[in-house]
Amino acid sequence: MLTSRPRGTEDILPEEVGRWYLLEATAREVSRLYGYREIRTPVFEHTELFNRGVGDTTDIVEKEMYTFTDRGGRSVTLRPEGTAPVVRAFLEHHLEAGGLPVKLFYLGPMFRYGRPQAGRLRQFHQFGVEAFGSRDPALDAEVIALAMDFYNRLALKDLELHLNSVGCPACRPRHREKLQDYLRPRLQELCPTCQGRFERNPLRIFDCKSPVCQEIVAGAPTIAASLCPDCGEHFERVQEYLQELGIDFILDEHLVRGLDYYTNTAFEIMVKGIGAQSSIGGGGRYDGLVEALGGKPVPGIGFGLGLERVLLALEAQGRDLRPDGGIDVLVVTAGAGVERAAVRLLASLRAGGLKADKDYLGRSLKAQMKHANRYPAKLAVILGEEELSRGQVLVRRLDTGTQEEVPLEAAVEYCHRVKETCGG
């Protein structure tokens, strides 16, 4: 249909746009407080960037990308996430030249093809940060703190921060082998899905809801036990810093990042009450990514969080984020020959910093008043022929219904004063 939007997309209507201002303003404010600077990258990139940067074997690349061939025959893709493009820009513009670390944040739409459901859209919006150039666990803690600070400023409650370390390319394979060795004897008992996971991603078996799989996996070796000394030390210190910052977390063995580029810290923030998709943000360290995309080995860490899901959570928690769509003054005309004065007064009201409007449909006085009430406007300035001939106008309060005659030249100042005493 010509009059319906593409599946999985949303129009953000005037009614709702105020809450987006709030999210975006909060994101920018908190980012700058932590020393992160905004970067805006294109919404589409060469497909190859995501194949390499996100990973050929991920669901994102295998079945969720909006990929098409442009008129020049190049394959381009609507960005499904923000990290790869930021890394690309970091390399393309040699941002390390300004000195490390480089701390960036972004805000914008992402695209993933899939069946929409609660908290899942084809076009959605993310706020994310990326910090390049340091392996310091204090930076891991900072990035996590920044995310939590964002939620807190919005007064989001009942969050769970899940934390894990996925090790490094040196120790992760060891853990995987240990896990497979442990599971192999009982492989046949696992549910069909998990039998498939055994080779591909054994860590995900921890997430299985099947009681049998749960029981089997209960005594499995933990990744903590397999971390190499460096990774173990790093993980310990991240936890120490988080405690230092007063940030509660839950150690979660099940938290995984699929790719080799991802190292050490992995975290995810969950909230209940927004449907089956309870993750409202996540991130981690990717010390191998910059190199994988053709740069020198520069470590990095970041997060991405879904703004629609944050909004869902805020609504589920009863936060009223509806913006005020009202105005201060509606200029109302009564009688003939006052239109020019009305246009002039409207301009002065606006010039004087008052939110003001007038009727443009030639409506009756009564209809204009009704309009003022519905807008809603705090005040109605009524221009009547008779009063105007004496240089006067009527200023009516919509809340109390009282009105007063004031000189035209004093109207702006008068409205300014009176509107402050109106409710709201």
Partner RNA sequence: GUGGGUGUAGCUCAGUUGGUCAGAGCACCAGGUUGUGGCCCUGGGGGUCGUGGGUUCGAGUCCCAUCUCCCACCCCA
Q: Which of 99, 60, 114, 116 is nearest to 83 (CA)?
A: 60
* Residue 46 near residue 76, CB atoms below 8 Å: yes
Angstrom CA distances, 199 to 6, 181, 225, 277, stand at 37, 11, 21, 26
Q: Is 257 part of any known ligand binding site?
A: yes
- Report d(CA 134, CA 169) in Å as an integer: 18
Q: What angle do CA 127, 128, 129 make, to 5 degrees?
A: 145
Please, which residue, 205 or 412, has the CB nearer to RNA? 205
Give the x-and-dash track for 286-325 against RNA (CB under 7 A): ------------------xxx-xx----------------
DSSP 3-state of 129: strand
Shortest distance (Å) from residue 336 CB to RNA: 9
DSSP 3-state of 149: helix
State which of residues 147, 381, 398, 412 lies at the interface with RNA (CB under 7 A). Answer: 398
Shortest distance (Å) from residue 59 CB to RNA: 4
**Size of residue set near RNA by CB under 7 A:** 73
State which of residues 276, 320, 340, 360 lies at the interface with RNA (CB under 7 A). Answer: 276
Give the x-and-dash track for 355-374 against RNA (CB under 7 A): --------xxxxx-xxxxxx
> Which residue type is seen at 373?
N
Shortest distance (Å) from residue 156 CB to RNA: 13
Within 179-218, which residues bind RNA (CB under 7 A)?
A: 193, 197, 201, 204, 207, 209
DSSP state of 8: T
Q: Is 112 part of any known ligand binding site?
A: yes
> Which residue type is seen at 363?
R
Q: Is 126 part of any known ligand binding site?
A: yes
Q: Is 47 part of any known ligand binding site?
A: no
* Residue 342 near residue 170, CB atoms below 8 Å: no
Q: Give yes or no for residue 67 binding RNA (CB under 7 A).
A: no
Within 44-63, which residues bind RNA (CB under 7 A)?
A: 58-60, 63
Within 322-351, which residues bind RNA (CB under 7 A)?
A: 334-335
Within 142-161, which residues bind RNA (CB under 7 A)?
A: none
The pair phi, psi for residue 130, each rounded to 5°, is -140, 135
Shortest distance (Å) from residue 210 CB to RNA: 10
State which of residues 394, 408, 412, 418 lies at the interface with RNA (CB under 7 A). Answer: 394
Q: Is 98 exposed, middle or buried (0-12, 13-18, 19+ CB in 10 A)?
A: exposed
* Residue 319 near residue 19, CB atoms below 8 Å: no
Task: Name beta bridge partners: 269.
Answer: 161, 281
Within 109-138, which residues bind RNA (CB under 7 A)?
A: 112, 114-122, 124, 126
* Residue 194 near residue 203, CB atoms below 8 Å: no
Within 21-40, which residues bind RNA (CB under 7 A)?
A: none
Shortest distance (Å) from residue 29 CB to RNA: 21
Instruction: Tell whether omega for the bond before 101 is within 30 degrees of 0, i.e. cis.
Output: yes
Annotated binding site for L-histidine: 81-83, 112, 126, 130, 257, 261-262
Annotated binding site: 81-83, 112, 126, 130, 257, 261-262
